[in-house]
Amino acid sequence: MNISKPAVWFLLFSLLALGACAQQPTQPQAESPGQSEQPAAAAPAPKPRVVARPQVKPPTLPVQAMSQTVLFKLLLAEIALQRGQNNVAVQSFLDLAKETKDPRIAQRATEVALNTRFLGAALETAGIWLAADPENQQARQVLAALLVNQARLADAEPHLQTWLAADKDNIGNGFMQLNTILMRHQDKAAVLELTQNLAKPYPSLPEAHYSIAQAAWAAGQPPLALTEIRAALKLRADWEQAALFQGQVLQRTSNADALAYYQSYLKAHPRAMDLRLSYARLLVTDKKYVEARTEFQTLLKEFPNNADVTMAVALLSLQLNDFDAAETQLQHALETDYKDPDAVRFYLGQVNEERKRPADALRWYSSVNGGDQYVPARARYAGILAKQGKMDDARKYLQDAGRNGAERVQFTQAEAQLLRDANDFRAAFDVLGQAVAKNPNSAELLYDQAMAAEKVDRMDVLESNLRKVIQMKPDYAHAYNALGYTFADRNTRLNEAYALVEQALKLAPDDPFIMDSMGWVLFRMNQNDAAVTFLQRAFEIRPDAEIAAHLGEVLWAMGRQEEAKKVWATALKDNPANELLSATVKKFSP
């Protein structure tokens, strides 16, 4: 009849610890250069401290023997459970636990009640279990967790105090489990108060401060969380998990503060590889690619066959135009079985394209057989053919590449882009028009055809398509933006343009291109002060050539010609061939 202890605790953990990491400050995913998600390096997790546990005294069993009647009832309860009659099984086990006061039966009853989500019965049977075996700390822990689940923190507190104090050699591990037990309680302030009460007797225990820090963070008190995690680290300076927590708390308000902290910690603890990984990712998020690559290279020395770290170094090298290093690391990523080999092949194609080795680039692009890079690889393959003067071959290659409807839409968009790049706007408009006729409810094709329509002066198609997209996808910010910007750029229907761009901003308030559109609308409405505010913010976020053209023109109109020239000169260095920027500069040149 004895059920192993881990079985009950596992069930309870599954019930109460869903999303156990929710109390930790979340670490933003860094964007890798050239892709949307930073691959995570699989650095080994730090080894937990192992402390020998004291011998547990066997439970005192009831005087009466396990009678045939009791055994018969147990058998019936188990059969009911197997047949899915959960309410019958739970009630039978509960009755047996009450009747026998046997801790083995109470433990089994608790397991069944937890497994079937009869939490009220589980609470009752856990109480019987603990009463029958008062020295059983697992029973006490289960009972405390169930009391917390029932929002009875005051009743849970003495049990948690006893549980923590029962195993003095492992009390730190107890505090590390505490937030898992408490995290589901909705009153985070009450949880914080309870955690502080439980930690009071242990001012010299770093895990106690860590537990308060977690509870404080969950309760929306970052300053207290920072104070407590610093106290934990003062007591145990080499605790990498606590250092990661501190960095993540700092990051919530300031990347610079978090970076400075990570840097100082690594100077004192250069072997803190998990923290170094977080530091490297945050450097990528902050677009400090050179420093990030240095950190990833340090990780690579420590874990030379870690494909994720290898891939990160490769992509950062590609971002920094260090094509030799990128190619070497990409090849190594293939050799070490990176989880997405098609992505590696795609980037090898890109490296060879950048190095003006079209034959090798075509070979790598054609070897991409699936995954997220399948469509981009074939689009770039076609782009190389187009640059070689083989536009008909490029278009046919894209027309034959689609394996399903969604891919055919994407390849049609790629074909239209090839034609736009060749300044054949009429052909691009026609290709998209044919695709829309076959897929009249494709928001992507409707939007692209609208953009192509503007180039061939088909404002009727542009407006009707964008209105349909807005109707189909009311949260599609760029459809509102495109229509509003088009009106503003043509200096017509300005009130409507303002309303459209305003809605786009509500949907995507941090998008620099929508900020640019709002600035341009306000400029057309002779609100230059407000216009320049939007345009300067947009240019700070994204120093794009067209944003620079608009910002410079507004500054010029405000009599700030030197500032305008400076903006244009900066943008022209990186975008000498941009038509709008060149035309704007020429317009105001003496």
Count of C-beta atoms within a 10 Å radius of residue 10: 13
pLDDT for residue 251: 93
Which among 106-120, 159-173, 321-335 has the top mean pLDDT? 321-335
Q: Which of 40-44, 291-295, 553-557 has the lowest mean pLDDT?
A: 40-44
Does the pLDDT of residue 85 top 80, yes or no? Answer: yes
Topology match between the domains 402-473 and 475-590: yes
Q: What is the pTM of this model?
A: 0.67
Residue 515 near residue 477, CB atoms below 8 Å: no
Which residues, in sequence order, are CB contacts of 148 under 8 Å at separation 6+? 16, 156, 181, 182, 184, 185
Question: And the tokens for 70?
Answer: 């009791």
Residue 165 near residue 54, CB atoms below 8 Å: no
What's the fold here for domain 475-590?
A: 1.25.40
Does the domain spanning 402-473 belong to CATH 1.25.40.10? yes
Q: Please tell me the distance from the alpha carbon of residue 487 to that of residue 494, in angstroms, as a whole number.
A: 7
Is residue 78 classed as helix, strand or coil in its secondary structure?
A: helix
Q: Please tell me the distance from the alpha carbon of residue 582 to that of residue 590, in angstroms, as a whole number.
A: 14
The confidence band for 87, taking pLDDT boundaries of 50, 70 and 90, is: confident
In percent, how much of the chain has pLDDT > 90?
63
Model pLDDT for residues 240-273, shown as the tens digit of each residue: 999 999 999 999 989 999 999 999 999 999 999 9
Model pLDDT for residues 304-325, shown as the tens digit of each residue: 999 999 999 999 999 999 999 9
Per domain, the residue ranges of the chain are 402-473, 475-590
